[in-house]
C-alpha cells in the first residue's frame, strides 16, 4: 500500500514538473505536452503509430530534421490508407489514367505531391488544405535533402503538432 502511494506521488510529481518545465523554450518537457496531444489520436495503424513515436524520440534526442521526415511519413501513410479505404474507387474515378490497386502500387507509381492533389480531387480536402499539405511536404523535403534548413526545437514541435492536428482533422472527415 505504501509503495503504491509513493508511486502515485512520483507520477504526480513528474506530471507537474513537466507542465512547469514545458513553458521553457528548449525544455525536453515540451515533448511530453506533445505526447499528450498525440494520445488524442485513435485509429492509427501500427506503422503510423510507430512513425509518430519515433518522431517524438527524435525530438527528445535533438534530431530535428529526422523528426520532420518521420512525422510527414506518418501523415502520408495515413493519407494513403484513407485513399485505400474504398479500394481506390474514388481515386481511380478522379484519376482515370491511374489504375491503383494497392497502396504499394500507389507508392511506387505516384509522387506524394500527386497523392495530396488527389486528396482534393476525391473530396477529402479542399484547395487551401491541399496547399497546407504541400507546405508540409516542402518542409519534409528540406529536411530530407541537402539544404540550409536546420529546424530548431520550437519549429520541430510546431511541425509535429501541425501534423498531428492534420491527422486528427482527416480522421474526423467522412470521405
- Asked whether the beta carbons of 32 and 14 are under 8 A apart, the reply is no
| Helix ranges restricted to H, the chain | 2-21, 29-39, 46-60, 64-84, 89-94, 103-109, 112-121, 127-144, 153-172
Contacts of 81-86 with C-beta under 8 Å, sequence gap 24+, read: 81/45, 81/48, 82/119, 82/124, 82/170, 82/175, 83/115, 83/118, 83/119, 83/122, 83/124, 85/175
Q: What is the pLDDT along the chain (175 residues), one digit of tens a residue?
A: 788 876 777 777 667 765 655 545 555 555 556 667 677 778 899 999 999 989 988 988 899 999 999 999 999 999 999 999 999 999 999 999 999 999 999 999 999 999 999 999 999 999 999 999 999 999 999 999 999 999 998 899 899 999 999 999 999 988 7
86-96: pLDDT as tens digits: 999 999 999 99
Number of domains in the chain: 1
pTM for this model (two decimals): 0.81
Domain that holds residue 107: 2-21+28-172
Amino acid at each position: 500500500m505504501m509503495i503504491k502511494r509513493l508511486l502515485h506521488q512520483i507520477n504526480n510529481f513528474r506530471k507537474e514538473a513537466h507542465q512547469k518545465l514545458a513553458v521553457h523554450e528548449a525544455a525536453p518537457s515540451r515533448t511530453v505536452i506533445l505526447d499528450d496531444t498525440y494520445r488524442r489520436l485513435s485509429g492509427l495503424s501500427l506503422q503510423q503509430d510507430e512513425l509518430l513515436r519515433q518522431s517524438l524520440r527524435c525530438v527528445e534526442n535533438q534530431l530535428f530534421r529526422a523528426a520532420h521526415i518521420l512525422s510527414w511519413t506518418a501523415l502520408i501513410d495515413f493519407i494513403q490508407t484513407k485513399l485505400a479505404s474504398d479500394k481506390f474507387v474514388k481515386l481511380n474515378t478522379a484519376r482515370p489514367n491511374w489504375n491503383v490497386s494497392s497502396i504499394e502500387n500507389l507508392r511506387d507509381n505516384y509522387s506524394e505531391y500527386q497523392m495530396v492533389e488527389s486528396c482534393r480531387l476525391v473530396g477529402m480536402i479542399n484547395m487551401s488544405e491541399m496547399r497546407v499539405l504541400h507546405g508540409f511536404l516542402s518542409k519534409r523535403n528540406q529536411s530530407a535533402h541537402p539544404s540550409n534548413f536546420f529546424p530548431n526545437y520550437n519549429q520541430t514541435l510546431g511541425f509535429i503538432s501541425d501534423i498531428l492536428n492534420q491527422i486528427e482533422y482527416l480522421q474526423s472527415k467522412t470521405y
